[in-house]
Structure 1
């Protein structure tokens, strides 16, 4: 029996069960049961009753606005119910009575950072990402919809997880055990070719959308992080990628695409993906096409740099060969005006600090301010959050990082935030080591 004869997915019948399973896998139920212990006792003023309400004043620090580059000394940021109500110099901001105060004297204050490519499979990973300064993020997919459960965790207990744009499951030729993630995927087990036909590609996209994915993640090349795979080998053609993009667009979703080879990058961009992920060997012609189309670039420099230190000689050599090529691609893309955004590609239980990606953006040739923008205003634009994330201004999210030093002089301070505030709540365990 062919895949075409299988009825379309029904979100009404299976969504609750699917998300319950995802929540169990991600550990979100356990996280919610201990939520208060994951948030540090808020600094308090006499008579304060707002310890866990999302009300907070951050005062005395040097405030950086990534959008304008403007620096305000002895600044005050007032957060009420998780949203910034005022931010600016002390003499222009009224500090409300009875609201907890976080003393930032001697430190710099920035908006929470955005990790535009991260794999969050558990509540512990989500909390670790926040502790390292990533208060917003975009999922690079999970195996069993764990990211969708993490997104709900972030809504219920914002100090435990980043605000998350979810990708659901990977649109990839071989789903492996992921085929068990949803009853509406199991008919694909009958297909000898895996997820390659137009019908199979559409089905995985449609199931993702039915389960609540915000974006769709697919691939054009094999993986760089597995020594047995060739990251220049192409797994989907331009026509197949076009099917994925078309199905996603019908559901109002954009597509992010795992890519490495020059031809693969070109096929993905021509097919209409919203953002190119990794993209080590992206060619100049494709970069020009990206600029014309408005395609974003998420190079995940820290993931490629991490290969250099691998104990596997194949991966180590791959990292040494790829990293300088990718840095040049980042420089060229930025110079051309392409939207370059920061993403760590953290996975496998280890969350890399988003500040490291910003540091590598600077090492690739961006100014410190432009490097910071890749993890603030520019990443927010890619995620469709430019009106709420990436700045500390009235109406924006009350997500803050406090760092020990001037990031415009030494961007590496972003790797070690002293304090992280998520929706007006101070996150426990975020102090620099």
Structure 2
């Protein structure tokens, strides 16, 4: 890669996948002041980056990560000092950036301090949107109570991370307000049980209509959206009826739920890699309850099947991995799974760029290679649709016009 020095940077000679889903085509990209200022042919600049043989992608966006832990192992988690998770986040964020992911939505765990540390340049990583705490009912997905009396919650409450357990509309109203006060960019609520929570069933719906309505109303008043951990069909439909912005996981999504999501414009964030990560962790010796591993095995096939039907029906999809359940740095395996389940390669990359940006409400800033957008770019060799090799083919990552990899 040939570089000369200057102020206006032109990445020249490559192909551009602009993020809209259109096929890649030859173009140069001019950057100035951290922004893309021009996309076209034969552009001049003070600094030239030779991208011949490379494809220029928008910075990728992962809409569902948990940077405060890195892999599921209950015993290791229980023995980890409280503050250790913050140092884990530093490594996790760096590994995510290695994947060409320049923006993430942390779906629970990271507080305002982690987000500000990245924004202020204290640590390197993708820019962040955060949910902070994951709201669940007593006995639900975020309730760490165990028969022994031990609380095995993944995220211990602290001054910047409110307790996640909520019961009733009044508690819901107060909790959403606490999260807004704490700096949440989105509210995450569990409308079903889950896989890694041993005391519930992912098929069962959680929270009543009054609690869900209160959650969405309070978030809307604060100008932010609601994302719903929703795996069972009833929990998915309850979430859509309440007006959530995105359904996370959607494992047992049925035809009625698909139609409801289409009518409401609700996004699906599939996280197809998550159950496979649980199965792989157990095979590698992670200390996990048998019921958790059994649930992961039960849902993996249904997950792929329901996602394929949602894609065929035209449900809007935004890429999300649930990294944290799996290892950070393995995020791009999600793209291969989306393709395997029936999504066209161009659509997979669009779901990982422009569609993800639209879900997060930041499409005016990132998600496409276009004049005026932040210069978040990924330069890759080989076939950009060879998702199995995409990470190893990354040659450079730019964030706000600055090469960070």
Distance 1:245 1:77 in 2: 40
* 1:198 and 2:169 aligned: yes
Distance of aligned partners of 1:178 and 1:235 in 2 relative to their CA distance in 1, 3 Å threshold: farther
Greater CA deviation, 231-240 or 299-308? Answer: 231-240
Aligned partner of residue 318 in structure 1, secondary structure: helix
CA–CA separation in structure 2 for the residues paired with 1:158 and 1:391: 27
Contact 2:30 2:39 in 1 (8 A): yes
Give 1:404 deviation, angstroms: 2.1
Q: Secondary structure at the match of 1:208?
A: helix
After superposition, what is the alpha-carbon deviation per residue over 1:48-92, rounded to whole angstroms, capped at 9, x for unaligned? Answer: 366xxxx6432232222231514223x322211211112233x2x
Worse-superposed segment, 174-183 or 114-123: 174-183
Is 2:163 the counterpart of 1:181?
no
Partner SS, residue 247 of structure 1:
helix
Cα shift at 1:366: 0.8
Q: Is the 8 A contact 1:116 1:341 kept in 2?
A: yes
Structure 2 vs 1, CA of residues 349 and 127 (structure 1 numbering), >3 Å: closer, same or farther? farther
Specify the alignment match of 2:30 in structure 1.
78
Aligned residues: 364
After superposition, residues 286-325 of structure 1 pair within 5 angstroms as: 286-309=257-280, 310-311=282-283, 314-325=291-302
Q: Is the 8 A contact 1:113 1:135 kept in 2?
A: yes
Note the 1:252-331 alignment, pairs <5 A: 252-309=223-280, 310-311=282-283, 314-331=291-308
Q: Which moved more, 1:102-111 or 1:196-205?
A: 102-111
Aligned to 1:347: 324
Structure 1 residues 56 and 354, CA, compared in 2 at 3 Å: closer, same or farther? farther
Whether contact under 8 Å (1:133, 1:401) holds in the other structure is yes
Give yes or no for the alignment of 1:105 onto 2:52.
Answer: yes
Structure 1 portions without partners, runs of 5+: 1-41, 189-193, 429-433
RMSD: 2.6
Does 1:385 find its partner at 2:362? yes
Q: 1:72 to 1:342 in 2, by over 3 A?
A: same
Q: Which residue of the partner structure matches residue 102 of structure 2?
A: 135
Asked whether the equivalents of residues 84 and 395 of structure 1 are also in contact (C-alpha less than 8 Å), the reply is yes
Distance in 1 of aligned mates of 2:226 and 2:220: 9
Change beyond 3 A, Cα 1:317–1:415? farther
- CA gap of 1:105–1:147, structure 2 versus 1, over 3 A, is farther
Task: Considering fraction of residues, name the structure with more helix.
Answer: 1
Find 1:63's aligned residue among 16, 23, 27.
Answer: 16
Say which SS state the counterpart of residue 65 (structure 1) adopts.
coil
The residue number in structure 2 matching 1:149 is 113
The Cα offsets for residues 325-383 of structure 1, whole Å up to 9 and x where unpaired, read as 22222222222222111101111693144322111111110111011111011111101
Name the CA shift for 1:318/1:197 in 2 (closer, same or farther; >3 Å).
Answer: closer
Q: CA deviation at 1:226?
A: 4.1
Q: Does 1:412 align with 2:394?
A: no
1:315, distance to aligned residue in structure 2 (A): 4.5
Q: Distance in 1 between matches of 2:157 and 2:199?
A: 23
2:136 corresponds, among 143, 167, 172, to: 172
Look up the SS of the partner of 1:181 in the other structure.
coil
CA contact (8 A) 1:356 1:414 kept: no
Separation of aligned partners in 2, 1:162 and 1:263: 34
Per the alignment, do residues 159 and 306 of structure 1 end up closer, same or farther by CA in structure 2, a change over 3 Å counting? same
In the TM superposition, residue 314 of structure 1 has moved relative to its aligned partner by: 4.6
Q: Which moved more, 1:63-72 or 1:387-396?
A: 63-72
Shift of 1:261: 1.1
1:225 and 2:196 aligned: yes
Do 2:112 and 2:160's aligned partners in 1 also have CA atoms closer than 8 Å?
no
Q: Write out per-residue CA displacement over residues 274-332 of structure 1, whole angstroms, 9 at most, x where no aligned residue.
A: 11101101221111111111111111011123234232665454334322222222222
- 2:216 pairs with 1:245: yes
Contact 2:95/2:329, CA 8 A, preserved across alignment = no
- Who is 1:124 aligned against? 91
Give the whole-Å Cα distance in 2 for the aligned partners of 1:154 and 1:180: 20
1:155 CA drift (Å): 2.8
Question: TM-score, normalising length from structure 1?
Answer: 0.77
In structure 2, the partner of 1:28 is none
Quickly say closer, same or farther: Cα 1:406–1:88, change in 2 above 3 A: farther
Find the aligned partners of 1:44 and 1:159 in 2 and give their Cα distance: 26
